[in-house]
């Protein structure tokens, strides 16, 4: 939400500011009660009270989707749950293909309604409860 041309984050349900307009922090929306935030060039996640719930230790991160998020470290690509627990991880330093390096992209979670599963690039399929049903990721 913008106020006087400055961006902030407002909780209309509880009638309060989560992030006051004009803060220098980049504003990301809440997904699954988590908001991507940056500190000293690293990414983590804050809750609806603007408190860190997943510390900013990641090189890059997407937004949460259906309870999961893809993140990158210098060595690994990972899928985390809303508590920061690692569901899956794979080497981020290997080039598996000269035209497409899996590790160079932040994992993006997709929902496949026909199967009622979540997927990362068709290489990892898991239930909404976090049970991996297929993994084509090689460590």
pLDDT of residue 21: 66
pLDDT at 135: 81
**Closest to 56 measured CA to CA, from 64, 66, 46:** 46
State yes or no: pLDDT of 17 exceeds 80. no
What integer pLDDT is reported at residue 85 of this predicted model? 94
Q: What distance in Å separates the CA atoms of residue 5 and residue 21, rounded to the nearest whole number? A: 9
103 phi and psi angles, rounded to 5 deg: -75, -10
The stretch 87-98 carries a mean pLDDT of: 66
Residue 93 above 80 pLDDT?
A: no
Determine the pLDDT at residue 116. Answer: 85
The DSSP code for 9 is E
Query: How confident is the model at residue 55, as a pLDDT?
Result: 96
Distance spanning both ends of the chain, measured CA to CA = 43
Any idea what the Cα angle at residue 55 is, between residues 95 and 15, rounded to 5°?
A: 125
Q: Is the pLDDT of residue 58 over 80?
A: yes
């Amino acid at each position: 939400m913008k106020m006087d041309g400055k961006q902030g984050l407002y909780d209309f349900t509880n009638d309060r500011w989560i992030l006051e307009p004009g803060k220098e922090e980049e504003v990301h929306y809440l997904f699954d009660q988590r908001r991507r935030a940056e500190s000293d060039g690293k990414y983590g996640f804050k809750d609806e009270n603007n408190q860190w719930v997943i510390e900013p230790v990641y090189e890059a991160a997407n937004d949460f989707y259906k309870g999961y998020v893809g993140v990158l470290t210098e060595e690994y690509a990972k899928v985390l749950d809303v508590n920061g627990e690692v569901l899956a991880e794979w080497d981020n330093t290997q080039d598996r293909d000269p035209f497409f390096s899996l590790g160079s992209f932040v994992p993006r979670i997709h929902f496949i309604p026909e199967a009622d599963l979540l997927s990362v690039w068709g290489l990892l399929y898991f239930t909404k409860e976090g049970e991996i049903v297929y993994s084509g990721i090689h460590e």
